[in-house]
Amino acid sequence: MAVRTGSWQEKKAGLIATDTGKCCLKIDNMKLVYLLVAACLAIVVDLAPAQDSSAATKTAVFAGGCFWCIQPAFDKAPGVIKTTVGYCGGTEPSPTYALVGSEKTNYRESIEIVYDPAKISYDRLLDIYWKQIDPTQSDGQFTDIGPSYRAAIFYGSDEEKRIAEMSKEKLGHSGKFKKPIVTEILPAMKFYPAEDYHQKYYQQNPEDFEAFEHGSGRSSFQKKNWGDKP
């Protein structure tokens, strides 16, 4: 009597089970490889030096009279990342609005501009700056008179100094103004941000800001000399 080795259904079931086992083993091996690769990538990323997001940015500091008034034009300029109004030019630590306004320090109301040099140049920032001030006034700006309101370009490098001097000379030769250009070009000093209520004042108090701009004579001066250009 022949020994029965099992029906074809049983053999098929055995083959399927064997193939399934092989398939599962193959999938498990693939998962293991994937996990090892992922772990290696995680280690590489973790060991890689962190990218400095500020490495591509630069900073410029200008004084132009009332710092409320010179902020909007820079905020609107493509390539400007951030602006902060504050104080620059003095030596007393942690200056306040009251201290600077006492006119007993060398601080000037200023603006610090963080910008992307790939999108806007320092020279272009100067073009915007000149249109926010009266570059022929030495005792302040418009109706704001006193040392803290004197205009100045604070350069942070020899290159910035060179560009600022060329820009000033170009403006002087343009015939735009009959009087000499007296805006100072000074070496940069520590910049201190002003109190929070001064930041973006034109947004916090739009009606007061507009009234002040018109009342000071700044708006009419800009329109007369520059038209509607920023």
Catalytic residue among 23, 40, 66, 88: 66
**Coil, helix or strand at residue 187:** strand
66 is catalytic: yes
Query: Which token pair is 129?
Result: 């700056």
Which residues does residue 61 pair with via DSSP β-bridges, in sequence order?
Answer: 112, 154
113-150 residues labelled b (16+ CB within 10 A) or e (exposed): bebeeeebebebbbebbbbbbbbebeebbbebebbbbb
**Coil, helix or strand at residue 40:** helix
d(CA 143, CA 157): 32
Closest CA to 66 of 85, 93, 88: 85
d(CA 145, CA 137): 10
User: Given the structure tokens 């490495």, which residue do they identify?
Assistant: 55
Q: In what helix (H) or strand (E) does residue 160 lie, and over which residues does it extend?
A: helix 158-173
Phi, psi of 77 (to 5 degrees): -75, 125
d(CA 67, CA 194): 10
Catalytic residues: 66
